[in-house]
A = this chain, B = another copy of it.
Amino acid sequence: MSERTGSRVSRRTLIGGAVATGAAATGVAAAATMEQEQPFETAQRPVPERRPNFLIVLGDDLGWGDLSSYGAPTIRTPHLDRLAASGVRFTNGYSASSVCSPTRFGLYTGRYPGRLHGGLGEPLAEKNDVDGIPTDHPTLASLLKGVGYETAMLGKWHCGFLPSFSPTRVGWDEFFGNFGGAVDYFSKIDTSGIHDLYEGEVEAEDLRYYTHALTERAVEYIARPREHPWLLNLNFTTPHWPWEGPQDRAVSEDLTRRVVNGDGLLAHFDGGSLGVYRSMVEDLDRSVGRVLAALDHGGQIHDTVVLFASDNGGERFSYVWPFTGGKYTLNEGGIRVPTILSWPGTLPRGRVSHEPVITMDWTATIVELAGARPDEEHPFDGTSLVPYLLRGQALPERPLFWRMHDWRALRAGTLKYLQTDDGSDHLYDLSADQHEQADLVDLRPDDLDRLRAAWEKIAGDQLPYD
């Protein structure tokens, strides 16, 4: 009786097989949203004369199903759901990696994280002069700055530490945030108990709940009178650990004391609950609502492309159904993330797209929409979605690729090649089995060989792991 453990699931029968890869991946709670949604169809769309602003809002460790529009059973996210209803909700949106910093390397550079040594960190932790985005390296911000954009980053950077690396050295005019992977929401200490909050490169103090501090900064940034279009990276740490909602200052005080005394971990393995997690995500949602209201109030909502996504799949309190796995794995639960694009007046409202897209695509897309060009020495690994979004063209077929120290994945069409951390190869057909349980590795050896070879070809061009 060779039984084996397992526990989580797609409901393709509900929706029917045709668009199963995308549509099936949404729960009942999402059904209400879906009923209103029309499939996004590529078509020629009038491009506004004025170049848009770009607001990129990143959640941190937010899982695929943590928003009501993506199926959350109890968390309610009306503002993000409304953002989705104002534009396009992607059901096959992927993060560049399954951990925090590599995805950010991908977003900021438009290239595979494995092209820079710092991008190999899972996540980046060492403070040295190697692991970061070099000051002469082009970024999303520097490319936009080069064509006249004002740029700012608020929140988590996580692509290299001072004194060697900083967002303000690679294209962001302004930075207010933390350099590392996580800070306490109130005290702003990092995992080592060291204070990590900066204004540019100068240490700053702000004891407000971090999500709120960032939100107020974003509102202020958006409201400024200016002549140039702008790019704002608003990188919340919500809902990353520690498990502290806006009411949990006492939890923060206790945890901070313990971390500073070496008597506890900021990762907070002895805290949190689904209730606290819900309060964090719903606070994130309200915060995004405030930022969107600022855009609306200032009359910029029609001139601003808003992208909302997460840096990786869900952590311990996340909801990732119908997927399996989570942060640190390359199962769908580790890399499929809520992905919303809104550009009222230019993109249609209330659409859903089942096209597979990945972090670096957004870099290429934004650079093209801004009228900039990628650096010839540093070509994008992402594909601009502009032909798909605005010019009536289909997205080209291309494999999506992920590489971690102990995991591999490649998606080609609906097939997914996965190598797990025990070194074993797997093959799944996501059109039938997004839950990744029916391993076709023995039944379809030719497909396995083909996808594995494609993986090795792409990986061969990247930096080795230490």
Q: In the bound complex, how far is the Cα of B1 from the Cα of A181, in angstroms? A: 8
Q: In the bound complex, how far is the Cα of B276 from the Cα of A8, in angstroms? A: 14
Q: Interface digits, A224-266 against B, CB 8 Å rule (1 contact, 0 not)? A: 0000000000000000000100000000000000000000010
For residue A243, give the distance in angstroms from its CB to the closest CB of chain B. 8
Can you show 21 pairs from A to B with CB atoms below 8 A apart? A2-B191, A2-B265, A3-B123, A3-B328, A7-B315, A7-B320, A7-B325, A29-B73, A71-B73, A73-B321, A243-B438, A271-B438, A272-B438, A273-B432, A273-B433, A273-B437, A274-B322, A274-B435, A316-B435, A317-B435, A321-B321
A318 within 8 A of B: yes
Task: Decide: B9 and A274 in contact? CB cutoff 8 A.
Answer: yes
For residue A74, give the distance in angstroms from its CB to the closest CB of chain B. 4
Residues of chain A at interface, number, CB under 8 A: 71
For residue A322, give the distance in angstroms from its CB to the closest CB of chain B. 6
Number of copies: 2
Q: In the bound complex, how far is the Cα of B442 from the Cα of A269, in angstroms? A: 10
A457 within 8 A of B: no
Q: Which of A7, A123, A320 has the most B CB atoms < 10 Å from its CB?
A: A7
For residue A12, give the distance in angstroms from its CB to the closest CB of chain B. 4
Task: Decide: A10 and B273 in contact? CB cutoff 8 A.
Answer: yes
For residue A271, give the distance in angstroms from its CB to the closest CB of chain B. 5
Q: In the bound complex, how far is the Cα of B123 from the Cα of A437, in angstroms? A: 21
Task: Please indicate the chain B residues that have their CB under 8 angstroms from the CB of A274 in the complex.
Answer: 9-12, 24, 322, 433-435
Task: Decide: B314 and A4 in contact? CB cutoff 8 A.
Answer: no
For residue A212, give the distance in angstroms from its CB to the closest CB of chain B. 19
A279 within 8 A of B: yes
Task: Decide: B319 and A321 in contact? CB cutoff 8 A.
Answer: yes
Minimum-distance CB pairs A-B, first 8: A6-B316, A7-B326, A11-B74, A27-B73, A9-B274, A10-B274, A13-B275, A1-B125
Task: Please indicate the chain B residues that have their CB under 8 angstroms from the CB of A14 in the complex.
Answer: 74, 278
| 15-63 of chain A: CB within 8 A of chain B | 24, 27-29, 63
A355 within 8 A of B: no
Task: Decide: B7 and A437 in contact? CB cutoff 8 A.
Answer: no
Task: Please indicate the chain B residues that have their CB under 8 angstroms from the CB of A443 in the complex.
Answer: 270
A327 within 8 A of B: yes
Task: Decide: B320 and A8 in contact? CB cutoff 8 A.
Answer: yes
Task: Decide: B270 and A314 in contact? CB cutoff 8 A.
Answer: no
Task: Please indicate the chain B residues that have their CB under 8 angstroms from the CB of A440 in the complex.
Answer: 270
A329 within 8 A of B: yes
Known: A12-B274, A73-B11. A269 touches B3 (CB 8 A): no
Task: Decide: A13 and B278 in contact? CB cutoff 8 A.
Answer: yes
Task: Please indicate the chain B residues that have their CB under 8 angstroms from the CB of A270 in the complex.
Answer: 438-443
| 311-345 of chain A: CB within 8 A of chain B | 313-322, 324-329, 333
A90 within 8 A of B: no
Q: Interface digits, A271-306 against B, CB 8 Å rule (1 contact, 0 not)? A: 111110111000000000000000000000000000
A153 within 8 A of B: no
Task: Please indicate the chain B residues that have their CB under 8 angstroms from the CB of A438 in the complex.
Answer: 243, 269-273
Task: Decide: B437 and A317 in contact? CB cutoff 8 A.
Answer: yes
Task: Please indicate the chain B residues that have their CB under 8 angstroms from the CB of A3 in the complex.
Answer: 99, 123, 181, 267, 327-328
